[in-house]
Structure 1
């Protein structure tokens, strides 16, 4: 009995298509960022410019020079022809700049509430770290996809690279497990938001009187913050509500297709990066900062770390410790919820190249 020949995959003839777009652009942009970042850090270090990284603490010149060297290493790795070596170098340097972007949500809240910029150099440092972390992540993603033999543009295996428009999937909802995890994590906001709302409504909590809280916050509050407080809304709670709205958009179909009430945009596809960029840029710093607070509070409560001394409006160290824990739960909870939802959104909305979206053509062997 004759065995039928195996079918062969037909490869269309012709010149090779143009190379993928963003995977080729990201390394050059990362190298340009690295050169600019290193120049800024060296300038700040040699001119003894104050660049705060937290309240009452600034970067030492030696640290700034080290950051400049790491940025140049990351930029060189982005252009390196050896993908394995480049991926290793990027994996080692990326966390440094991601940690440097932790303060982004804090600066965002101060800008939105018109509270002013505490430090222009501090804000510039955070923005530079954020841009670098984003670019290095894209370069690392493209390198790893190439190492796996996948298309660096869409991340799926297909034989013929293409520069044709990507095919976008239809809107879908995440799984029930993903939605449940995101909503449970979001509940971490409740203790923190609840205490602040109690103070604004005239109640006492954690040993802090409402009048003392109002007096302390009004001293440094901006006009919008005072206007919101006058109607019982804490401006930081309102900022958290914006994060919750972003989270809901990542979990529902209206975050993939503009709903009817958006007038001229109704029915159009939402650009993927429109919700993903703010989700990643706020989710990662919030998670890191919130996790740190969640871990610090029990250590202070048990005496493993020095207890924070109360400062107005707080009257007891225990009240400060509880507020640190509540803040950690809020920041880490919302940050992790955004990351969980963003991962699901990115997976569900990830487009694919046309050659990966259609099955390969088979022709019988001769």
Structure 2
């Protein structure tokens, strides 16, 4: 019902923006066309109808239609969450919001992606004969308390993969740290970088820069902290340094929601950069025109590649770690007895 309500509300907002000609930014100096907004409104209404239809017993054609609409809508609105991490960083550092309607659009897309994912997951479980709530095939009602498994760390292969992905942060973070400390790299002088980054920056950004710390590098360390929590036991049971929470179970969605919401957009953004940077270096795509403090197209291309490694590595790492965490912490309805593996 929540997903259907979101679909109707989303459609109303998008249609209103399209009719009134409201500018809704989707990237710097680019806005959604009214036709795209009307398409998104129609898709949201279709998704709302699919959510309602998915609760009923349908023939094969109906099940295929519901699954198709949910899949397409989920993919579209997941792509629409792409700017979420950037908005989070700018708001956390008090750097200001470039576009209020752009932020509203990203938040609406994010809410829709989350709700449609939950509906699609529940629908898939129901079709496979599993409990739509916990995903385990069992007899008995799908209500009442949930039984949680014992805390455990991620398998060795998962940890190794995540650590390898985290290494992608090193070239990007190292370059920005050198600039912040006044050094020169990629043809960019540290003093020029500091002047460009401090211009119009907020108090917190200036404060961290004066200490030789780039605010985006600091934000990446928060992502690393989240990654480690997803991999180890202290992400499932509050450790001793959390004082009054020590020993209590960590709510399952507390790390999963930020991991999914930041991991997926970062992964998409990073992959785009990793594809574009080599194509620009090879001349297949036109190089980016140097803009101060950059002095050459090659410098921007290298930095784009570093950014792809960093954002893609952190984003994919969060997705991999979150998937492992979700599997290791999946509960089962307490009044039921599992008869197989979760779906």
Question: Which TM-score applies when normalising by structure 2?
Answer: 0.95
- 8 Å CA contact 1:84, 1:147 repeated in 2: no
- Which of 299, 324, 335 matches 2:304? 324
Structure 2 unmatched ranges of 5 or more:
none
Partner Cα distance (2:16, 2:333) in 1: 44
* SS, match of residue 76 in structure 1: helix
Say whether residues 1:261 and 2:241 are aligned partners.
yes
**Hey, what does 1:70 align to over in structure 2?**
43
- Which of 20, 26, 34 matches 1:53? 26
Between the two proteins, the alignment pairs up a number of residues equal to 333
How far apart are residue 163 of structure 1 and its match?
1.1
**Hey, what does 1:272 align to over in structure 2?**
252
Larger Rg: 1
Structure 1 unmatched ranges of 5 or more:
1-27, 361-366
- 8 Å CA contact 1:30, 1:135 repeated in 2: yes
CA displacement 1:8-30 (0-9 Å, x = unmatched): xxxxxxxxxxxxxxxxxxxx000
RMSD (CA atoms)? 1.2
Within 5 Å, give how 1:1-366 maps onto structure 2. Answer: 28-80=1-53, 81=56, 82=58, 83-357=63-337
* SS, match of residue 164 in structure 1: coil
* SS, match of residue 26 in structure 2: strand
Residues 318 and 159 of structure 1: CA distance in aligned 2, closer, same or farther (over 3 Å): same
How far apart are residue 358 of structure 1 and its match?
6.3
How far apart are residue 85 of structure 1 and its match?
2.8
Moved over 6 A (4+): none
Partner Cα distance (1:92, 1:122) in 2: 22
* SS, match of residue 220 in structure 1: coil
Question: Which TM-score applies when normalising by structure 1?
Answer: 0.89
- 8 Å CA contact 1:310, 1:320 repeated in 2: yes
CA displacement 1:325-348 (0-9 Å, x = unmatched): 000110000000000100000000
